[in-house]
Structure 1
Amino acid sequence: MDKRIFPLALGGLGLGTTEFVIMGLLPDVAESLKISIPQAGHLISSYAFGVVVGAPILIGYAAKYPPKKILIFLMIAFTLFNALSAFSNDYYSMMAIRFLAGLPHGAFFGVGTVVATRLAKPGKQAQSIAMMFTGLTLANLAMVPFVTWLGHQLNWRYAFGVVSVIGLITIVGLKFLLPSMNSLRTTTLKKELEFFKTAKAWHIIAITAVGFGGLFAWFSYITPLMTTISKFPTDFIAYIMILAGAGMVVGNFLGGILADKMRPALAGAILLSAMILALIGVFFFSENQTISLILTFICGALSMSVGTPVNIMMLRSAKNSEMMAAAFMQAAFNIGNSVGALFGGFPLEFGLSYNYPSLVGAGLAALGFLLCLAFIKKYKPVI
């Protein structure tokens, strides 16, 4: 890995850990805060909503500054709010702190995405973005399972302490490894936002939000799915998270390669169609432990592989607005996170079993696939 991109990947490790670890610790958090598991799912949505709000606002304000300074500031805020998460004692304070912790998330990835493309070799932009997101995939391969195990063995609060330590190390890495660059803003904020008056921008955002909503409907409730439907012991959840993380590592590089080899929109459509089938498989076959584990790996791979193609779709469409576009994409991903956690919880509120969120997810993925097909038909000569 290019050492200049390493601190971006390290930041992704911290961001990915805090975003996904609560899914592995959902029952622990629910018991500690004396709330139901569906209510604990709202904490996932709260963090995601913070990303949605923070990404465009922070980028709009900070883009005039050098990206290195922006990224260090965002990581300081991220570290502070995650440290506070470890000390929350009730549902409402945890909701508020998770929202605040989410604010820097999208802006960090938004700035980092553009920085990664600027540092990339010609024709390797998608793979450079994938390298930055390696930290996110490694979070799910190693760090999330580790802190999930730590949370089960000791207390879920330790997970956020570990995340804060990662944040501190990232700040040091950004200071000494990331090269100094001039402001990435090439035009005025007003002109940057003009792209988002177009149907094309919102079409890509809709594909991302709805498509990823399908995966988060499944992943948000993976712990109770595996313990109540697949009948795995609670102590086995950390290993299941490693398996999902291994899939994400594979999927991250697969998405980067596909987006460089073919039209990103076509790659996105192919991957979304696979997502539909995988989530339907989760619904029907989760009682079989072997098949359940295979599908966990596949769904993990698909969860990351779609990310790079849709990011490239947006960056190629938003000339001179790349950083704001990348920020909006992070908002879109986390709208998907929030929508998936919310909609996936509806069947549970009505007393249905924990394999039903994946069926909701398949429906969301199908809608994302149809939106992607419509995009290809409308913009085929371009993307």
Structure 2
Amino acid sequence: MNTSITNSATPKAGLVWVVIALALGTFALGTTEFASMTMVPYIAENLGVGVEHVSYAISAYALGVVVGSPIIMVMTVRVRRRKLLLILTAAMAIANGLSALSPSLGWLVFFRFLSGLSHGAYFGTAMLLAASLVPSTMKARVMSQVFLGLTIATIAGVPLATWMGQNIGWRWSFVMVTLLFIMAAIMIYVFAPNPPAKEGASPLKELETLKSREVWYTLGIAAIGGGGLFCVYTYLSETLRQVTHAPAAWIPIMMVIFGLGSTIGNLISGWAADKSTMKAALFILIFSAIVLAIYPSAAGSLITLVPVVFLIGCSIGLAAIIQPRLMDIAPEGQAMAGALVQCAFNLANAIGPWAGSLVITAGFSIADTGYAASFLSVCGLVMWWLAMREGKKKALQPER
């Protein structure tokens, strides 16, 4: 691993500018993924379909991530990372541009699926490139800085895209995302280093990663433990309306508060993960379980809900912990590990809302989704324990 960016970067690029370039791509990804959820009613009205049908486009994006991430990452292990990032940003610019031109819901669903295909591969490749430019003691920190683009998207990109959807049309939000990806591609071309692909890399070596139980348990921490955050986030707007009885203007404000928590939590988690990834994961899971359990009681008043939503946002830092952990336990399959992390978090994005829907359909208050969310964090703790046990068993095995 390179110990300095000067070993692999072009002279005109510094680490800060590389990270900014990569983070601009994650900012665009965060905007297109989360803003799509907030624009569902405007898309439904414009295309003349039910709100429940527009959700197919959200699911199609997530399916694209799950399908595309492992395939692209494994099949491109011999491609230079800067070249791959440029291909991925171009593909996402085109797919989001086509989403803006969708003449019907069917075409929108298809184009959102295409948009999701490159999502996980971009994240995985950007994280691996950033980590390769710093000493091992700093890799989690620099990866969290790349991920910072997504958390900032919840503060700035998503509210702006939502405003555009409300006032000038949902299509323009996808146009904005398209322009962001074009800007990201330009900055990556100018500032990102272009080291050769890892010597000896092959798809078969990457697939060996799938044999490790520790890898699967670690992914389980993200897929199940991370689902709690999405369980609450998905129904936050309706909770504000039905339970808190807050004015409509408070919905985007609360999203910004959540985003601020996400940004701070992500940075702290990256720092903590450089000290000990599994201890940091344990803390976040316990912290999430407690805060999410408090959420239903806090939902009745803005005074109590604001700080709780901020703290819930902080738990998104789990993503900055799982990625470097997988790099440590799967050194020969880092491309596959990077892809699987994105699959796991998109699975969390499916599990969380589903768990919340069970609470609502059972007749409980929409704020009670916090209890289901807390339970998911506790289940994440079980996966953490299994991963730790598997790691200890592996450490006791004699080397072959």
Q: What range is the shorter-chain TM-score in?
A: over 0.9
Shift of 1:356: 3.7
Is 1:80 the equivalent of 2:94? yes
Retained in 2: the 8 A contact 1:41–1:220? Answer: no
Is 1:300 the equivalent of 2:313? yes
Retained in 2: the 8 A contact 1:185–1:323? Answer: no
Shift of 1:151: 1.9
The aligned amino acid for 2:305 is S
- Alpha carbons of 1:341 and 1:35: their partners in 2 closer, same or farther (altered >3 Å)? farther
Is 1:52 the equivalent of 2:66? yes
Where structure 1 has 5 or more consecutive residues not aligned to the other structure, the ranges are: none
- Alpha carbons of 1:183 and 1:161: their partners in 2 closer, same or farther (altered >3 Å)? same
- Alpha carbons of 1:356 and 1:96: their partners in 2 closer, same or farther (altered >3 Å)? farther
Out of 359, 381, 386, the position equivalent to 1:369 is: 381
Shift of 1:373: 2.3
Structure 2 counterpart of 1:329: 341
Shift of 1:34: 5.1
Is 1:246 the equivalent of 2:260? yes
Structure 1 counterpart of 2:183: 169
The aligned amino acid for 2:294 is G
Where structure 2 has 5 or more consecutive residues not aligned to the other structure, the ranges are: 1-14, 396-400
Q: Residues 161-200 of structure 1: matches in 2 within 5 Å?
A: 161-184=175-198, 186-200=200-214
- Alpha carbons of 1:338 and 1:309: their partners in 2 closer, same or farther (altered >3 Å)? same
Is 1:284 the equivalent of 2:297? yes
Structure 2 counterpart of 1:341: 353
Retained in 1: the 8 A contact 2:78–2:201? Answer: no
Q: Residues 310-329 of structure 1: matches in 2 within 5 Å?
A: 310-329=322-341
Could you tell me the TM-score, scaled by structure 1's length? Answer: 0.92
Shift of 1:205: 1.3
- Alpha carbons of 1:53 and 1:371: their partners in 2 closer, same or farther (altered >3 Å)? same
Which segment is superposed worse, 9-18 or 228-237?
A: 228-237
- Alpha carbons of 1:104 and 1:273: their partners in 2 closer, same or farther (altered >3 Å)? same
Shift of 1:85: 2.0
Is 1:209 the equivalent of 2:219? no
Structure 2 counterpart of 1:271: 284
The aligned amino acid for 1:279 is L
- Alpha carbons of 1:234 and 1:184: their partners in 2 closer, same or farther (altered >3 Å)? farther
The aligned amino acid for 1:316 is D
User: 1:43 and 1:246 mapped to 2: Cα distance?
Assistant: 27
Shift of 1:357: 3.3
Which segment is superposed worse, 110-119 or 216-225?
A: 216-225
> Deviations along 1:204-249, whole A, 9 cap, x unmatched?
1111111122211111222222233222233332222211111111
Please identify the structure whose Cα radius of gyration is greater.
2
The number of residues matched between the two structures is 381
User: 1:352 and 1:232 mapped to 2: Cα distance?
Assistant: 20
The aligned amino acid for 1:314 is L
Retained in 2: the 8 A contact 1:45–1:342? Answer: no
Report the identity percentage.
29
Shift of 1:378: 3.6
Instruction: Please tell me the root mean square deviation across aligned C-alpha atoms, in Å.
Output: 2.2
Shift of 1:353: 4.1
> Deviations along 1:236-263, whole A, 9 cap, x unmatched?
32222211111111011111111112x2
> Deviations along 1:276-302, whole A, 9 cap, x unmatched?
122222223212112111111111111
Shift of 1:66: 0.8
Retained in 1: the 8 A contact 2:209–2:332? Answer: no
